[in-house]
Amino acid sequence: MNLRAISALLLLLGATGVTQAEVSTASAKQEATIQALQAQLIELTARLDALENEKAQTITSSKPVVSAQTVAQAKALEGIKFKGDFRFRQESFDIEGQDDRHRSRLRSRVALVAPINEDVSVGFGLASGSSDPTSANQTLGSVSSSKAINLDLAYVNWNLPNSDISVQAGKFKNPLKRVGGTGLLWDGDVRPEGVTASYNKGSIFATGLGSWVDENKGDADLILLGGQVGSNFKLANNVSVLFGLGYYNITASEGAGSFFGVAANDNRLDANGGYLNGFQNIEGFAEIGIPTELGKVTLFADYVQNLDADDFETGYSLGAKVKANKWSFGWEYRDLEADAVFAAFSDSDFIGGGTDGEGHILKTGYALSKKISLSSSLFLNDRNVDFGTEESFKRLMFDISFKH
């Protein structure tokens, strides 16, 4: 029985005793008993009040105390965006004159963007892979050895106040448009290192880029300078159109040492192992998106020419993509001559990377959910078409990708 119940009982007994004392001639012993019970009631009530006060103080003191430092840390995390992805790949090769090859690969990336104020933010990202600028893939094997993690992104972004211009500096995602996702000039994993500025207003866009290719202590530096200008707009029936021109020049590239070394899929080299030609490219590209009852159909084309080469200096890509509900399908035909583009930056999957090849690319995809997808890619290519021994190159890739 708790103290409140005891108090109520004693109070009842006390009240009953007092009433009998007033209406009858109780004995002195009974009177003394009643007085003793009343004294106990007073004492118990006082103890109950004390216990309730102690309990209230305990509850109050147990409430968490939020320090000013904790509040400041919480505010510092406001607005920070985290994202990442993981991809597992199983692929097979059928290359003329070579044994068939099978391997498993993974790619894991994580990045964050933190706002400094309403105009300035900083980004940081890590990725698996190696020093290869065109791939974050890591091949499994090598006696289950530990795999490398590399700096993938580290940049500051500044949206100039009262303008349509944004500036980035550091190591950032490629700001140049790739119609249809083609890797004719740039692999999707290339992360330029330098400064870029972009202008977007209405249907007009323009991008300038200055990126370090190679800094030499005792020789001329190789720097990529260039950009794109174009338009992106919609026609009737929600048909989207994008087209533009690009210009890119890698300074001091003629005669510079090869980044591939002597390889069949590299640009042409001189007797000293340097690039036979420089790389001064012009590009024309276009893409049109057409909504249909089956889904969105995208058609694209890309053309590039190296003005510093006299022959084997052109490349082009034609393709189509269809997205229908959870399914996606794609086809591309690509023809890339030996000195059309800088081989170290072009698609690492087509012909095994580099230049001097042609052929088809077939892709399918299925979205299991918003964050999980399946895809496959089939490359039916011929490489060393211009130089070396021409060979058939077939590659089949199966991917499962997770976003988080």
pTM comes to 0.81
| Under 8 Å between Cβ of 185 and 304 | yes
Supply the pLDDT for residue 79: 86
CB 148 within 8 A of CB 138: yes
Q: How far apart are CA 122 and CA 115, in angstroms?
A: 6
Going by their DSSP bridges, the two strands 193-201 and 279-291 should be labelled as unpaired
Cβ atoms 393, 334 nearer than 8 A: no
> Helix 28-62 and helix 3-23: axis angle, to 10°?
150
Specify the DSSP element, H or E, that contains 47.
helix 28-62
pLDDT at residue 41 in the model:
74
- Is residue 260 within 8 A of residue 344, CB to CB? The reply is yes
Q: What pLDDT is attached to residue 63?
A: 53
Beta-strand runs (E) in 202-310: 204-214, 222-234, 240-250, 279-291, 296-306
Q: Tell me which of 84-98, 245-259, 261-275 is least confident.
A: 261-275
Flag whether pLDDT at 20 surpasses 60.
no
Phi, psi of 71 (to 5 degrees): -60, -40
pLDDT above 80: residue 248: yes
Q: Residue 34 — very low, low, confident or very high, per pLDDT cuts 50/70/90?
A: confident
CB 44 within 8 A of CB 36: no
Provide, rounded to the nearest whole percent, the portion of the chain with pLDDT above 70.
Answer: 86
Are 170 and 156 in contact by the 8 Å Cβ rule? The answer is yes
- For the chain, report the end-to-end CA distance as a whole number of angstroms: 57
For residue 48, what pLDDT is reported?
76
Would you state the structure tokens that stand for residue 382, as one six-digit string?
């011929």
Lowest mean pLDDT among 68-82, 167-181, 381-395: 68-82
Spatial separation of the C-alpha atoms in residues 239 and 292, rounded to whole Å: 10
Taking only the tens place, the pLDDT of each residue in 282-291 is 999 999 999 9
**Structure tokens belonging to residue 71:** 């509040």
Residue 59 confidence (pLDDT): 58
Residues 398, 361, 389, CA angle at the centre, nearest 5°?
105
Burial of 256 (0-12, 13-18, 19+ CB in 10 A): buried
Cα angle 141, 144, 145 (rounded to 5 degrees) comes to 100
Model pLDDT, residue 394: 98
pLDDT at 389 over 50: yes
Tens of pLDDT along 38-60? 777 788 777 877 777 776 666 55
Whole-number pLDDT of residue 216 = 87
Highest mean pLDDT among 63-67, 260-264, 338-342: 338-342
Q: Specify the pLDDT at position 257.
A: 86
Q: Among 198, 206, 193, which Cα is nearest to 232's?
A: 206
Q: Which amino acid appears at position 179 of this protein?
A: V
* Mean local confidence (pLDDT), 316-323: 98
Exposed e or buried b for every residue in 349-365, given b needs 16+ CB within 10 A? bbbbbbbbbbbebebeb
Q: Around Cβ 209, how many Cβ atoms within 10 Å?
A: 22
pLDDT at 333: 98
Tokens encoding 109:
């990336």
Q: Does the pLDDT at position 159 exceed 50?
A: yes
What is the tens place of the pLDDT at every residue in 168-211? Answer: 999 999 999 999 999 999 999 999 999 999 999 999 999 999 99
State residue 111's pLDDT score: 98
**Predicted local distance difference test score (pLDDT) of residue 30:** 67
Q: Which of 13-17, 103-107, 325-329, 359-363 has the lowest mean pLDDT?
A: 13-17
Please state, in angstroms and rounded to a whole number, the distance separating the CA atoms of residues 287 and 300: 4
Amino acid letter, 56: A
Strands (E), 292-325: 296-306, 314-324
Name the more confident of 87 and 12: 87
Cβ–Cβ contacts within 10 Å for residue 30, how many?
14
Look at residue 23 in the predicted model and tell me its pLDDT.
42
User: Which residues does residue 212 pair with via DSSP β-bridges, in sequence order?
Assistant: 223
- The full 3-state SS of 48-116, as one line of letters, equals HHHHHHHHHHHHHHHCCCCCHHHHHHHHHHCCCEEEEEEEEEEEEEEECCCCCEEEEEEEEEEEEEEEC
Q: At residue 16, does pLDDT exceed 50? A: no
